């Protein structure tokens, strides 16, 4: 997985370098291509996260036998208005899928738009991606805090190694 991310990063770096060297009249199309690539990578990452979540549930159920699974960590969703709400991992994954669908629709519209409309649509897509990224970082910080609390209480969360078994 890390090797895939390095390849993706290298490809983005190439695209950004080409965009920076390009004449002004070519930059908008190159920016749109970069944003499209970044959104595709984001969708791929979310698919991997969903698979990891499913595997984590399966491993937890196997570790606990047939006993009911203990409740999983709840993430706190802090959207860009500052509103907080508790979300289960399943709800977060469903929300990320809905965001991916919305973003993919906006990107399709941007890529099919005439040149005079493309810049405004590009700005909308970038704004949406930045807001979603900020929310994702806030969620990660919330989950990290919960993991630390579990460790302090003597309940070790699943190790990343046990979650990654069978992911490749």
Nearest to 82 by CA among 12, 121, 138: 138
pTM score: 0.57
pLDDT at 40: 85
In this predicted structure, the answer to whether residue 35 has a pLDDT above a threshold of 60 is yes
Q: Which of 35-39, 63-67, 126-130, 134-138 has the lowest mean pLDDT?
A: 63-67
Structurally, how many domains does the chain consist of? 1
> Residue 17 belongs to what domain range?
2-164
Distance CA 10, CA 101 (A): 26
| 156: DSSP letter | P
**83 vs 108, higher pLDDT:** 108
Question: Which residues have CB under 8 Å from 81's CB, separation 6+?
Answer: none
Tens of pLDDT, residues 124-133:
888 888 787 7
Tens of pLDDT, residues 110-164:
999 998 898 888 888 888 887 877 777 777 777 777 777 777 777 655 555 544 4
pLDDT-based confidence at residue 109 (cuts at 50, 70, 90)? very high
Residue 36: both structure tokens together:
């499209």
């Amino acid at each position: 997985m890390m090797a895939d991310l390095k390849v993706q990063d290298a490809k983005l770096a190439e695209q950004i370098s080409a965009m920076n060297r390009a004449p002004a009249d070519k930059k908008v199309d190159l920016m749109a291509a970069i944003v499209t690539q970044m959104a595709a990578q984001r969708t791929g990452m979310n698919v991997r996260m969903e698979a990891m979540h499913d595997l984590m549930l399966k491993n937890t159920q196997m570790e606990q036998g047939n006993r009911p699974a203990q409740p999983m960590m709840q993430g706190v969703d802090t959207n860009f208005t500052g509103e907080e709400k508790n979300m289960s991992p399943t709800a977060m994954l469903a929300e990320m899928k809905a965001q991916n669908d919305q973003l993919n629709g906006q990107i399709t519209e941007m890529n099919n738009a005439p040149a005079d409309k493309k810049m405004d649509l590009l700005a909308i897509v970038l704004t949406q991606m930045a807001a979603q990224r900020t929310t994702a970082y806030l969620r990660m910080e919330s989950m990290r805090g919960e993991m630390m609390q579990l460790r302090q209480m003597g309940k070790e969360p699943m190790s990343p190694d046990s979650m990654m078994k069978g992911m490749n």
